[in-house]
Structures are given as structure tokens and as C-alpha cells.
Amino acid sequence: MMSPSTLPATVSNPMILRWTIGCIAGLLIIAVTSPCFVRSYTPRVVQPQRNALTLQPGAEYRWRSEGYANTQIGPLGMPGASPPLPLNPSTVHLALWGDSQAEGVCVADDQKIAAQTHHLSAERIDVLPFARSGDDCNDWLPQITSLQRSSIKLDAHVFLLVEWSDWCQPVRQPSSITDQQFDWVAEQLPAFLIQATRNVLTTGTDNQFRRLRFRPGPITSNSSATAVAPAAVTEQPDQWTSRVAMLAVQLARLKHQTRLPCIFLYAPLSPAIINGDILWDDPDDDLFQAMQSIAAELGFDVVDLRHQMQQSVRTGKQWPRGFHNGQFGVGHYNAVGYRIISAALAAHPRLDALPLTSTANTVTAER
């Protein structure tokens, strides 16, 4: 039998032993409870009909940041209660495009736009949710071309317009997925370990690599720095003209891409709560007026949802954005907001004449 003097230093030192046991026990507790608090990381695959990188069909995606929900990934990498393939020929088939505001991983599948529209339309409308976080018009247009070349027959395209940066963009190639090579990590490592690594190495707001506060060498003092409040940004006339010009180019590209009806649902980030005050006015109303004029010339439908959003707050005190684990009036749309959006879509008169014949899916693709 070994005497205490002959035991390894790590074992004979009670402090190190307690730290070791504590770290192991803590990791085990986190591993067991992480599904309650940590989002999941799901491998992605190239979806041939869309020609885009999507989450793996059939997977379950867990979101635990803003909102608290599980999302089932349907066919074509679509998040939520997507209609099964092949599509029902007796229903209207709408493709829903947008970024994270339309993707809806913050809410349960039965509260997403696709499910609520299907219910509110008495199951007459099937919505295929092609929205993907981080995408803009430069990503949607090539996917629209790919879908038109596939066997998926659509009757109309719907765009949820929340932020103007999604359309006021110069023409460029679709966004490249810079971390595609790390998909194997999602398959091999637990989600809490991936999230912990990201928290250490990147910032929480824009996922940029952070400068670690612990490193060898002297630390430069910033004590002399004085905090300055950000100045109010006033858009100059030439900036406004530039945004309208980019918007016009992108909408013209859309017109050239498809002959299907296109419906824009305008749901900007208002009303909003800023510094404790409710802001009712839309600061981009002039841009919206210009967009309406351009859309009318191109034959696109535009639905203004600002009044419905304001009425929800004024009368029912129900905020269309925000969650219990965040701040109401800030962030992504919740179930209330999606119900307003879905009701407007289900009641849109343009859809009364649909479904159209499959020949309406003829392509006029960009060369």
C-alpha cells in the first residue's frame, strides 16, 4: 500500500483534487441540462432544388436564445411545419422568402407563418418557407431560378420585408458560407462545447473574433478614453437616392427572374421601444413610398402591415416582436406578429384566383 508521501502530487494535493472533481462534475451537469439552455448545431447539406446550403431535412433544430422553441426541418431544408412533397395540387403553393425575421426559429412550428397561414386560410394555402437567416435578395433570386427549373410548382412568391438592407443592396454573388468546413464539428461535438468555444473566441453581437483579455505581455490602459454617445444618423439625400436606385435594380431583376405573382409584406421594426420610449413612426416611410411606386410599375403587390402592428399594441397591448426572455418591442417577430402577417397573407385578394396553371411557372432566367 502506497503511503501519502509516495502518492502523485496531483492526488495528494486536496485543492487540485477538488478542482478536478468540480470541473468534471460541472461539465456533466452542463452536458445533461444544456438542451434546456443552449441552441443546437445541426449539420447542413446542399439542397439541389434550391441549389443552396440548408439544414439537414428531417433534423430538429433547437433555439434557446431569443425565444425558446424547437423547429423541425422539412423537405428542401425548410424550417417548420412544411407541406409534404409532392405538393397537394388542390391548394395554393406560396414560396416565402426572407431572413431570420421570416425563418421563425424563435417560435414553435405551429406558430410560424407557414402553419398559421395554412390554418387561417382554411387549409387552402400551403406556404413553403424558404427564408434563411442572413440571406438577402442576392441569395433569394438565384434560388428562385433553381426552383423554377425543378419539379416544384409554385403559384406565387411572398417576400417579408422587414429591413431595407435586404433589398437595398448592390448586385453580387450569393453569400458564401464561410464556416461550411466546420459542419463536421456539429456532428461530432456536443452543442454546449461548441457554444462555449464561440462565446470565448467571438463577440455575441456580430460573431467577430474578439481580442482576448488574458494574454502574455503588458496590457494597454484605456482609462483615458472618454465614452461618447453615438450621434444621431441623418440620411443624406444622395444616400437615399442610392438606396432607391439599388432597390429599383433588384426589383427589376426579380421581374426578369419570374413571371409568377410577387407579394411584398411590409412589416418594418415599428412600433419599437427605444430607451424606454415607444416609437410609432416608421423612419423609412419615404423609402417605402418609393418602393410602392416601383412595385406598381412592375406589377408587384405590396401589403402595408404597419397599421395592424400598431393596433395590436394600442388596443390589445400585444407586442408583435419580443419574447419573455428578452425585451418586448425589440428583436424578432413572435407568435403575435406572425399571426398578423399570416392573417394578411391568407386574406390577400390576389390569391383568390390561384392556384394558377403549372405553365405559369415558366422561367425567364438571368443569363
Please report the pLDDT score of residue 183 as a whole number: 66
What is the rounded CA–CA span in Å between residue 159 and residue 144?
A: 12
Are 248 and 294 within 8 A, CB to CB?
yes
254 phi, psi to nearest 5 deg: -60, -45
Please report the pLDDT score of residue 137 as a whole number: 96
Place of cell 390576389: 350
Walk across the sheet containing 301-304 and list its strands: 125-129, 92-97, 156-161, 262-266, 301-304
Are 130 and 50 within 8 A, CB to CB?
yes
The reply to whether omega before 230 is within 30° of 0 (cis) is no
Please report the pLDDT score of residue 260 as a whole number: 95
**Which conformational region is residue 128 in: left (phi greater than 0), alpha (psi within -120 to 50 degrees), or beta?**
beta
Please report the pLDDT score of residue 322 as a whole number: 92
- Terminal alpha carbon distance of the chain: 82
User: Taking the model in full, what pTM does it have?
Assistant: 0.81
Q: What are the 10-residue block averages of pLDDT along the chain, 367 residues in total?
A: 52 78 85 84 86 88 90 90 84 95 95 96 94 93 93 94 96 66 67 75 70 61 43 64 95 96 96 88 95 97 96 91 88 96 94 58 39
Are 329 and 272 within 8 A, CB to CB?
yes
364 phi, psi to nearest 5 deg: -120, 75
Please report the pLDDT score of residue 190 as a whole number: 76
Partners of 63 in beta bridges: 69
